[in-house]
Amino acid sequence: MRSRRSFIAALGGASVASAPAFAQARDSLKIVSVEAVPVRLWTRSSQGRLPQFDGLYDPARWRYSGPYSQLASAIIVTIKTDQGVTGYGLGAGGAAAAEIVHGHLRHLLVGTDPRNVELLWEQMYMSGIYYGRRGVFVMALSGVDNALWDIAGKYAQTPIYRMIGGATQEKVPGYITNSDPSVGLDLGFEHFKLAVRDGLTEGRDGMLRTEKTLSEARDAIGPDRSLMIDCGCRWNDIGYTLEMARRLDPVGLYFIEEPLSPDNILGYQRLVNEVDSTLIVSGEHEYTQYGYQMLLHHGGTEILQPDITWCGGITAVRKIAVMGAERGLPIIPHRGSSLYGMPIVLTANAPLAESFGTGDAATDLMLAMSSPYKEGHYFATDKPGFGTEITEKMVHDHAGSSAL
């Protein structure tokens, strides 16, 4: 069985993203319009569906995320320039984030040069610190930032990964997030992650179901493939998590992801210090380099997992990758095989890229943002900017339920 902690040790020295390769051009380039549209990435999704609860203590009440969280609330930000260069940025936050873009951030963008990415990021971030240092505001900011980088890359006729340092690897092993291991096996994956459905509210019965599910998954994929779990914060108790880590030791997990609330940084610190059988990882729901500064200061994760589309965009995640490299920690971005995640995966110390579109019930819009995949690996694309196949028609054709 593959050693979990040796997975990191084998990575060697980390390469980090450098400053943008493009310089401030002397010619004029101005933003003329900014639009944000909530979109559907999957052909089927429960996001935005009205909840039905079985009483006050129904576990579903702890898990109802509403229409403004996760990838199911994706937005596409479209930024147009006076020279016909259009940038598309993936963000999140649904209609709430779209309103922030239209009612707030747009006024800091129209008439400016989109190549001033760092400057515009700082101005947008500072303009929202009284109400939006985390959550939906930063999800909106992420979509804008990614669209600005897309313009910069297209204008320079250069892929983003080359603009931020160049690839350190030609291809990256992928891992698939899917509840059915057979899907990943059929597609040629060697690394698998399952979402844990039971948590603290399900008690001992839930523990037993989790053990059974993961034991069956291990049997299905065999002893030499990597197996990981995403708890979705459902364990949310240090003692429960410590017991589950002991119970799952025979399964041979590479990592346990987000067992606790993202706000429980000291809890994560304790888990990192006390769990030896597997890695404890967090950060998918942390925001900007400032949030990561605190998470890493307290040693709250053993792998960095920012989502480029809601953590603050490429501008923020480049800085987060540097923080991780300084501490010898790898980075495995959430859904890193999206074309928005791959520039970080290719240029930083990233051992794996999480699936995005591969094996999903994906719309053509989602597939237009997915990296090339072959035989268990994701590959770079040499198209300018992020290299997506997004069109305005595609965005509006998939305007979705996250607008509820």
Catalytically annotated residues: 334
Q: Token match 């069985």: residue?
A: 1
Amino acid making up residue 286: E
Q: Token match 């995966």: residue?
A: 345
Amino acid making up residue 214: L
Token pair for residue 9? Answer: 């040790």
Token pair for residue 13? Answer: 């020295």
Q: Which residues contact 308 (CB under 8 A, 6 or more apart)?
A: 142, 146, 314, 317, 333, 336, 338, 340, 341, 344
d(CA 113, CA 386): 19
Amino acid making up residue 118: E
CB 257 within 8 A of CB 268: no
Token pair for residue 287? Answer: 């925001």
Helix (H) or strand (E) holding 142: helix 136-156
d(CA 68, CA 46): 12
CB-neighbour burial class of residue 272 (10 A; exposed 0-12, middle 13-18, buried 19+): middle
Q: What are phi and psi of 315, to 5 degrees?
A: -55, -45
3-state helix, strand, coil in the chain (%, to 5): 40, 15, 45
Gyration radius (Cα) of the chain, Å: 20
CB-neighbour burial class of residue 19 (10 A; exposed 0-12, middle 13-18, buried 19+): exposed
Amino acid making up residue 208: L
